[in-house]
Amino acid sequence: MNLKLITVISLVVCLLAGNTVRAKGEKAIKSGVWRATLEIQGLQLPFNFKVTSDPSGGLDLYIMNGEERLLLEDVKITGDSINIALHIFDANIKAKIYGKGDSLSGVFIKNYEQHYNVPFHAVHGEEYRFVKKDLNLITEPDYSGKYAVKFIHESDTSEAIGIFKQQGNYVTGTFLTTTGDYRYLEGSVNKGVLYLSAFDGNHAYLFTANRNPDNTLIGEFFSGQTWTEFWVAEKNEDASLPDPESLTYLKSGFDKIEFSFPDIQGKKVSFPDRKYEGKVVILQIFGTWCPNCMDETTFFSHWYNANKMRGVEIIGLAYERKSDFNYASTRVKKMVETLKVPYTFVIAGTNDKEKASLTLPMLNHVMAFPTTIIIGKDGKVKKIHTGFSGPGTGFYYDQYVERFNEIINTLLKESLN
């Protein structure tokens, strides 16, 4: 086998692996930690990522938010340009490579939204987010603690719980709401001001806050190109939210769920069905565009692999950004492949909550993506859980897992007689 043929085969293998291939004449980018910024609403939203090389000669890129490392394997370099597919989301970063592979400049694009192009810049070797981390710096005020939070958008308000941990000038935390959480936030206290940000590949969040003399907080929240809210918070270790098992429920006269939707191959999946008789069934209302749904799907995947022999099934009901079946099924297939999800998915509709509610008319509404419906062996709905408290919420995630297992274990012990 000659050298030219070996080179061609190597390139094909790398391309099939979905990783960067740097052929002759193409630039490389430096391995290590990078500091990136997105320009939203006239502000700089910083985040970090790490680049590592793999044995095939390609690159893996990890988005870093707090303790999370979100792997991006589909990274391609062509000439002096880089194209980063953002995990399971229908979004990309496209940029030019400058200098000695230590600088990037381009755009963050959401492919499913028209004209969604956010300026993106990144510099190699900068590990800080807002200011350089100093865990030993005596910093005032200390924002650590649990807070009762109110978000305010024009005349609308919503409640949340804020959880922050500060060491020196470095801060991590999240907000937990009735419909989910803001996942892993990371930032700093600089000159008394709290700064937090997160970028998960689809959502770009920036929070700021000041502490008032009465120790309450007042701040702003910026999301993407246009969304802005004010928020106020008061430290309260007893802060709570409505019971997530009380928010979505069956209308009077209903005790079961019925549907018939195509799976990702186009084959009809109906419920109820003989396949599910005598089993505990979990219905997951979700979308691949939803980072909370990604967290829940990761949990369900591990849980199902460990428990599927006990007489349980999971069906994911996907509500995607477009009504086109080919588009929706392609997005779900990518998620299944990336997250290695072992259970069934169907294409149920679009992410419009009013339209989603029409597909399951026995529910009072579809309030949140995700929502989990738990059905007993007798085919009747036993619990409906609105939202999901992901791993970024710490205690609340552990509490969710414990409660979920408690419900399933109880239902599995029930007899049909």
Note the pLDDT tens digit of each residue in 68-116. Answer: 999 999 999 999 999 999 999 999 999 999 999 999 999 999 999 989 9
pLDDT, one tens digit per residue, over 217-269 is 999 999 999 999 999 999 999 999 999 999 999 999 999 999 999 999 999 99
Cα angle value 297/298/299 (rounded, 5°): 90
Q: SS3 letters for 284-302? A: EEECCCCHHHHHHHHHHHH
Residue 382 pLDDT > 90: yes
Q: Which pLDDT score is estimated for 56?
A: 74
Domains 145-235 and 259-413 share a fold: no
Residue 9 pLDDT > 60: no
173 and 182 Cβ atoms separated by less than 8 Å: no
Q: What homologous superfamily does CATH list for 13-124?
A: Quinohemoprotein amine dehydrogenase alpha subunit, domain 2 (2.40.128.120)
Spatial CA neighbour of 137 closest among 172, 185, 188:
188
Spatial CA neighbour of 276 closest among 222, 315, 220:
315
State the average pLDDT over residues 350-357. 96
Residue 18 pLDDT > 50: no
Q: 145-235: what fold?
A: Lipocalin (2.40.128)
Q: 259-413: what fold?
A: Glutaredoxin (3.40.30)
88 and 339 Cβ atoms separated by less than 8 Å: yes
* Domain residue limits, the chain: 13-124, 145-235, 259-413
Would you say the pTM of this structure is higher than 0.85?
yes
pLDDT, one tens digit per residue, over 156-207 is 999 999 999 999 999 999 999 999 999 999 999 999 999 999 999 999 999 9
Q: How far apart are CA 358 and CA 384, in angstroms?
A: 17
